[in-house]
Amino acid sequence: MTFDPFGDFETQGYLRNLTNEKDPAIVRRLEHASFMTGIDAALEHLTKKKQLSYSDVLETHRILFEAVYPWSGRDCLTTAPELAVSRGSTLFARPEEIQLAANYALTHGQNKRFMKEKPGEIMGYLAYAHPFLDGNGRTIMLIHAVLAQRAGFSIDWAATDKTAYLSGLTKELDDPGKGHLDAYLKPFMRDALPEGQLADQVIKAPGLDGTDEQNEVLGKTTDPALKARYEQQELKRKPSSGTAGRRDP
């Protein structure tokens, strides 16, 4: 089933991409080309920031995908505020909770000790936030790489296995904060790379061609059954500072 949150796939193509393309394979190639073109500029933006905020997550996505999507840099609270988005059995954060989950990851990820001890938990919260309709994996990979570098380490992504990594991430999303993804990533922790080498490191991460992004709209967030699922999974997650749905200026 085609992921069509806007309901206009037949006239506007996949996610209203700028070429109105419907063929998923072509859109993925466009996305990857945009990502590869924008990765240096996105990392330059991030590395110049003394502290990373949610607005930097939005700006990273905009830089990476503005050549493909007119809504790049805008999260689901703006683009699909009433829709429940999932992938497989994983239900991502409801739109009004996206920033709250991302802020948890950013706050704790900028605590160097926490980041070094729990790199998988930070990645899990970034993935759970799932701010955008597409391009989440590549966006959060850059954020995570910069947080890791500042904490004094890097992940040797070239040595990781795609299937094992995604399995660990799925377990982390389903059962957060229990060390599932930490256990997988820690054997691949190395000394921090210089900022100038981060791009080369990131592009070696598994799944960055976007082929694993197969999102689905389950319905409206107000559906009673979905509300119950949201409430159940949110009980598993640690509260973070800030106000749900608050927007950075």
Give me the average pLDDT of each 10-residue run along the chain (249 residues). Answer: 91 97 94 97 97 98 98 97 92 95 97 98 97 96 97 96 93 94 97 94 82 82 94 77 41
Of the candidates 118, 241, 132, the residue with the CA atom closest to the CA atom of residue 184: 118
Task: Name the DSSP letter for residue 159.
Answer: G
Residue 248: per-residue pLDDT: 45
In the chain, count of helices (H) and strands (E)?
12, 5
Which CATH number does the domain 9-234 belong to among 2.40.170.20, 1.10.3290.10, 3.30.1360.120, 3.20.190.10?
A: 1.10.3290.10
Q: What residue spans define the domains of the chain? A: 9-234
Strands (E), the chain: 83-87, 90-91, 153-155, 189-191, 216-220
Residue 210: per-residue pLDDT: 66
Residue 212: per-residue pLDDT: 63
Residue 246: per-residue pLDDT: 42
Residue 4: per-residue pLDDT: 94
Q: What is the pTM of this model?
A: 0.93
C-alpha dihedral sign at 145, 151, 154, 160: negative
Residue 242: per-residue pLDDT: 42
